[in-house]
Amino acid sequence: MNRIENTFSKLTKENRKAFVPYIMAGDGGLECLVDRLATLEKFGATAIEVGVPFSDPVADGPTIQAAGIRALATGTTLRGIIKQLAKARELISVPIVLMTYLNPIYAYGIEEFVEDIKEAGVDGCIIPDLPIEEEDIIALRLKQAEVELIRLVTLTTPLERIKMISNKGKGFLYTVTVKGITGTRNEYDSDLNQFLKNVKEVSPIPVLAGFGISNGNQIVELTKFCDGVIVGSKIVDLFEKNNLEEMEKLMSVFKKESKLV
């Protein structure tokens, strides 16, 4: 088992849920990435999703798009990010999941990319524009490198397809909670809880809810039906505002309230 599997196995034994914050690498300068990752681990992150800035981020909402633009403006590159993650691995112990689109991987070179992220201590990879029908271009290499390919399902994904997708991985299943792009939201579709419950029933791996989660009440409610949450836009926004107090409070509320029910 890699760090992701070990971490979720431990959470299950301890009767706890997962909090996975998302951070845009290079936002605020690439040199601050290691410190920000260490801060998130200190605040109680189960794992950390690290985004790679890209010029055409089809899944990202305004907050994360803006963070990507800021990161690109400072000269952030995928190679530079991987080098910083290697430094971070010497300091932090939680799993690191790299989120990137296919184009930067192609430009890097698939084989070299997989070798380098393995060497840097990356534990998982999310590629939102890679459908399972085409994932053979990289999935086997990632498996051989013991880097988990984290797959996504959405509210419109048929249950049989969710079952097929979830049976392909050993990490966790990223369950998108909205019909659209990322960004904080005040409310969700009324059928979301039932959807998460249905996904949880067919998935052999942990189910994490992501997109739009921004406060403790949402976290407590959603984790009644899944194994944890991924919080992106809110974390990005709080880092930009240097509001670490509110960030720690948000993550503390999660640790305190989100026991299994």
Q: What is the dihedral of CA 99, 181, 104, 38, to 10 degrees?
A: -30
The answer to whether the beta carbons of residues 119 and 26 sit under 8 Å apart is no
The closest of 149, 106, 156 to 128, measured between CA atoms, is: 149
Active-site residue, from 27, 41, 60, 148:
60
On the CB side of 229, CA atoms within 13 Å amount to 29
Q: Give the CATH class of 3-252.
A: alpha beta
The closest of 63, 49, 38, 34 to 4, measured between CA atoms, is: 49
Please give the Cα distance from 214 to 235 (Å, whole number). Answer: 8
Sign of the four-CA dihedral 33, 39, 42, 48: negative
Tens-level pLDDT at each residue, the chain (261 residues): 799 999 999 999 998 999 999 999 999 999 999 999 999 999 999 999 999 999 877 767 789 999 999 999 999 999 999 999 999 999 999 999 999 999 999 999 999 999 999 999 999 999 999 999 999 999 999 999 999 999 999 999 999 999 999 999 889 999 998 764 444 444 555 688 999 999 999 999 999 999 888 888 889 899 999 999 999 999 999 999 999 999 999 998 656 554 433
Active-site residue, from 49, 116, 123, 148:
49
The answer to whether the beta carbons of residues 209 and 177 sit under 8 Å apart is yes
The answer to whether the beta carbons of residues 17 and 260 sit under 8 Å apart is yes
Is there a catalytic annotation at residue 49? yes
**pTM of this prediction?**
0.92
Is there a catalytic annotation at residue 201? no
The answer to whether the beta carbons of residues 210 and 176 sit under 8 Å apart is yes
* Domain parsing of the chain, residue ranges: 3-252
- Which tokens belong to 114? 């997989």
Sign of the four-CA dihedral 253, 50, 261, 178: positive
